[in-house]
Amino acid sequence: MSEPSLCIKVKKIHGEKTLVLANKLGISNRELKIHQNADNICIPLVRRPDENELAKLKTQLPDFELATQVFTKKKQQRKTLHQVLENQLPPHLLATLPRALDVIGDIAVIEISPELKAHESLIGEAILKTHKNVRTALAKVGAVTGTYRLRKFEVIAGEHRTNTVHKEHGCQYQVDVATAYFSPRLSHEHNRVASIVQKSETVVDLFAGVGPFAVLIAKKNADAKVYAVDINPEAVELLKRNIRLNRVDNRVIPILGDARQAVENQLSGVADRVIMNLPEKALEFVDAACKAVKPAGGTVHYYAFIRLPDSLENAQLRFSEAVEKAGRKVDVFLSAKTIRETAPYECQIVLDAKIL
């Protein structure tokens, strides 16, 4: 869409200076795109400058002209959550609004501080307004707890549900955040691990959830086979659906049960690669991971939390000791890094270890 508008026309070399001045005077029209040709630049105006403003323009830009030009409209920028709430919440409350929220499919999840609790519906509606694909806004209630690693949620706006379909790296996942763990914050890790799996590998995902490692690995590697274990029946139900949804049947084998038990029963010595994504308790399962690794060796992706002053080096030491206790040996750490901050002074780490 185009429209004619009054503008300041200057030689191109004075373009930036003119724009700064027009912005400072509050007369530039930010909804229209700046127009330029080989010699000149035209800055659209919201109104004719008054005498005072004209005097300032003349002093700083001796050869400027007021002209009329046809301008193209800029695409309407969606307002951010903070911008929408800026006139509805006092500044001290606005400052406590988290900068980031998680979007899982068409559900947005936000952490609401106790001070903001009274305004949660307002915040929820603002989330729907600023995120055009979001249909439900959920507030986190409490921390992630229990064996299934779940937390409670409260619907603060939109449709009353906790299930959705989330897309990640070309796969689709049926997710229900109230009944099975899922975090979009691990998206990079899901893809990183899936990208280093080699042709024809057998992978054991000991804590598979709804399948974001297992399904992606099978999708990316036509010859790979993945055993995906989880103790939460709801997670395994969703995992089964996700296996069908992404057409990786027969190559991702879902197993409902305890990881250690599953290795004892059917996964001893089968794995080229083991994924251990249960950061709170992974150390307790290193023996099971070692048992799943083929006698000739394999790679283990070990996730853990560390709290300062603890360090990556200490985590490596603890892991190596647990591997030795299980009768195996860490040949080399292929990688050791922090992947995200999870709380003040706490972060999640991943160790990629070659086990012999």
Which residues are near ligand SAM by CB under 6 A? 147-149, 181-183, 186, 207-209, 212-213, 229-232, 235, 258-259, 277-278
Q: At its nearest, how many Å lie between ligand SAM and the CB of residue 285?
A: 7
- Give the shortest CB-79-to-ligand SAM separation in angstroms: 32
- Least separation in angstroms between residue 320's CB and ligand SAM is 22
Residue 110 CA to residue 156 CA, distance in Å, equals 10
Stretch (H or E) spanning 203: strand 202-205
Q: Say if residues 141 and 113 touch (Cβ distance below 8 Å).
A: no
Q: Which is nearer to ligand SAM, 29 or 246 (CB)?
A: 246
Nearer to ligand SAM, 280 or 331 (CB): 280
Closest distance between ligand SAM and the C-beta of residue 182, in Å? 5
In the complex with ligand SAM, the residue whose CB is nearer, 84 or 104, is: 104
The residue at minimum Cβ distance from ligand SAM is: 209
H helix or E strand, kind and range, residue 11: strand 2-11
Alpha carbon separation from 203 to 48, 148, 206, 213, 276 (Å, rounded) = 69, 22, 9, 10, 11
Helix, strand and coil percent figures for the chain, each rounded to 5: 35, 35, 35
What tokens were used for 41? 């630049």
Cβ nearer to ligand SAM, comparing 191 with 320: 191
Least gap, CB of 235 to ligand SAM (angstroms): 5
If you write DSSP's letter for every residue of 131-160 in order, what string do you get? Answer: -TT--EEEEEEEEEETTTTEEEEEEEEESS
CB of 268 to ligand SAM, least distance (A): 16
How are strands ordered across the β-sheet holding 40-44? 35-36, 40-44, 2-11, 65-72
For ligand SAM, the closer CB: 18 or 232: 232
Smaller CB distance to ligand SAM: residue 157 or 214?
214
